[in-house]
Structure 1
Amino acid sequence: MAFYVLILKYQEDQSGVTYLFGPDEDYLGMLWLDKSSGDIKELQETPTQNSQAFFQRASVKVWQYWKQGEFPEKTCWAS
């Protein structure tokens, strides 16, 4: 089964980055990444079935970028 998660930066400040994520721009959830610790919190579920699957995949992707010290404007997770 193919799986795609669109990930868009929503806002960024000194403490963290907020990303929108979901299957497309019409169905987006929201997560927050703590810049100092790498902790990620889901702020809003994706309004679709399998919302946890979207959150888990988006979290892995933004955490991988965080490890490299990067906070991209737009990325995706695809399999």
Structure 2
Amino acid sequence: MSICCSMSTSNQSLRQYSKPITAPLMMQPLGQVEHGRRSKAMAFYIKIEKYEETELYAKYKFWSVDGNCGEFEINKQSGEVHLLVQVSGDQQGHLFNRAAVKIIREWRQGRLPDMTEWAS
């Protein structure tokens, strides 16, 4: 079962677009039950570490709990991000997208941290 929610910016309330989760299902660990079959966890924890910096670019490695690593760079002038090495098994780019968003948000605040993380 998948749950789709949207957050209202005015009152911060959640609206659900599919049937509610039952209590026994909520007690299962992430990724354990979905209509009688295993599903993938939808939670993300990504470590992000800067490993190189020049006048124009900062390069970052990022990885999740499985240890597979990817790399990207951000243009320090424009904020444009380029994937350099894709994480094995992440063909849809979920890890890269989240790591890049985290660094772009920091860049907009005038920071390029040596190390940070994404958790959702």
**Length-normalised TM-score, structure 1:** 0.91
Structure 2 partner of 1:30: 71
- In proportion to residue count, which structure has more helix? 1
- Residue identity (%): 35
Unaligned segments of structure 1, at least 5 residues: none
Q: Aligned pair count?
A: 79
Alignment of 1:1-79 (within 5 A): 1-24=42-65, 26-49=67-90, 52-79=93-120
Unaligned segments of structure 2, at least 5 residues: 1-41
Contact kept in structure 2, 1:45 and 1:51, CA below 8 Å: no
C-alpha deviations, 1:9-67, integer Å up to 9, x for none?
01001001000011048311000000000000000001234560000000100000100
| 4+ residue runs over 2 A deviation | 48-51
- In proportion to residue count, which structure has more strand? 1
Alpha-carbon distance change, 3 to 26 in structure 1, aligned in 2, over 3 angstroms = closer
Contact kept in structure 2, 1:7 and 1:75, CA below 8 Å: yes
**Length-normalised TM-score, structure 2:** 0.61
Structure 1 partner of 2:36: none
